[in-house]
Structure 1
Amino acid sequence: MRLTGRQIDCVRGGRAVFSGLDFEAASSHALAVIGPNGSGKTSLLRLIAGLLVPAGGSVALEGGAGELTLPEQAHYLGHRDALKPALSVLENLSFWRDFLGGDASDPNESLAKVGLAHATHLPAAYLSAGQRRRLSIARLHVVRRPVWLLDEPTSALDAAGQDLFAGLMRDHLARGGIIVAATHAPLGIEAGELRMGGPA
């Protein structure tokens, strides 16, 4: 499986964010997208996820499930945690499992994987920032998708949380998955680098 971008142009609000961008990530490999604020790291992830339309160029996944689009085979984990505060931890994750569909796991097992087994019935509003991040990360486990698009994935995680997440990423890569992560901090795994320029 191979994720490629060829000659991608991104325009936001009438401003060219980047142009002529090429990248490639193969099965079992991670790509760290590095650059200053405003260089287009988040925009690139959103383009790959199908949330933005490129002004030029193309993004493709070769060797994936032919009947599914790239966005249907990718998890996009944004820098903000998409949680309903009034729902419990388990209810939040169960919603995402049902919404995303596909190859799903037991939500309780996924919560245990991210260290939240003790908090399943706690309203999400009561979680710390690090716990909210762990709950968002549990989405990556509860529904299996081959491509992970991660925007500052270790933000709000303490050292133990970062180590736990690094283990989950290594497991994903060992199963042939692909990771593309926009980050200012080390991921804790081996990764190639795509360096973005400064703001245009």
Structure 2
Amino acid sequence: MELIVRDLTVARGGVPVLEGLGFTLGAGEVLVLRGPNGSGKTTLLRTLAGLQPAVAGEVSLPPEAIAYGAHADGLKAQLSVAENLAFWASVYATGDIEDALTRMNLLGLRDRPAANLSAGQKRRLGLARLLVTGRPIWLLDEPTVSLDTASVALFASCVRAHVAGGGAALIATHIDLGLEAGIFDVTPFKADPTRAAEPGSFDEAFL
């Protein structure tokens, strides 16, 4: 199980933001994306997740390998914590939600509507979705936003368990999660902003 990126160019709003990217993420590995705000980390993750097309280059990975955690928590406000997780478990045909509830400290909130959760609780529930996907490669965009110190530790523990079981994680974050991880700084791959992308490559700015 590997994610292989070769000579990749990604664009935002039709304008290339990163070009010539290349790296490999294998089973049991964590790679942390670094770079200033606006440097293209989110655009890169969205491209790898298949949510927008690449301008150039190649992304090679096993089919149905990706679980993407974005800035939005992706919750249904009218459903309870348990019902939200059960919905995603049914989508991915994985079934059990108890482990996810336990590991993200949500057992005491299982019957509470998502609309009534705090920002940190919503984030924990959003991250718990990763645990019911069964997907080996996690792409995570600032996953610790709104989390307190204890919840960050819970999340880091989940990542450790995931990679120990043969999974992998690519994480855009500015904080130290205490993980054994490689660092991939996108700054050297900044594209020339004056050069427009190919026609038809417009992306999330227009969705």
TM-score for both structures, normalised by structure 1: 0.90
1:46 matched residue in structure 2: 46
- Aligned equivalent of 2:142, options 147, 152, 167: 152
1:32-66 per-residue CA deviation (whole Å, 9 max, x = no partner) reads 000011111011111111111101001112xx4xx
SS at match of 1:112: helix
Q: CA deviation at 1:105?
A: 4.4
1:150-188 per-residue CA deviation (whole Å, 9 max, x = no partner) reads 000111111110111111100011011110011111122
SS at match of 1:4: strand
SS at match of 2:50: coil
2:169 matched residue in structure 1: 179
- Aligned equivalent of 1:91, options 83, 98, 123: 83
The percent identity for this pair of structures is: 46
Gaps of 5+ in 2: 194-207
Q: Which runs of 4+ in 1 moved over 2 A?
A: none
The answer to whether structure 1 residue 33 and structure 2 residue 33 are counterparts is: yes
Gaps of 5+ in 1: none
CA-based RMSD of the aligned residues comes to: 1.4
Q: CA deviation at 1:14?
A: 2.5
Between the aligned partners of 1:73 and 1:92, the Cα distance in structure 2 is: 21
**Counterparts in 2 of 1:1-200, with a 5 A limit?**
1-61=1-61, 64=62, 69=63, 72-101=64-93, 104-197=94-187, 200=193
TM-score for both structures, normalised by structure 2: 0.87
SS at match of 1:24: strand
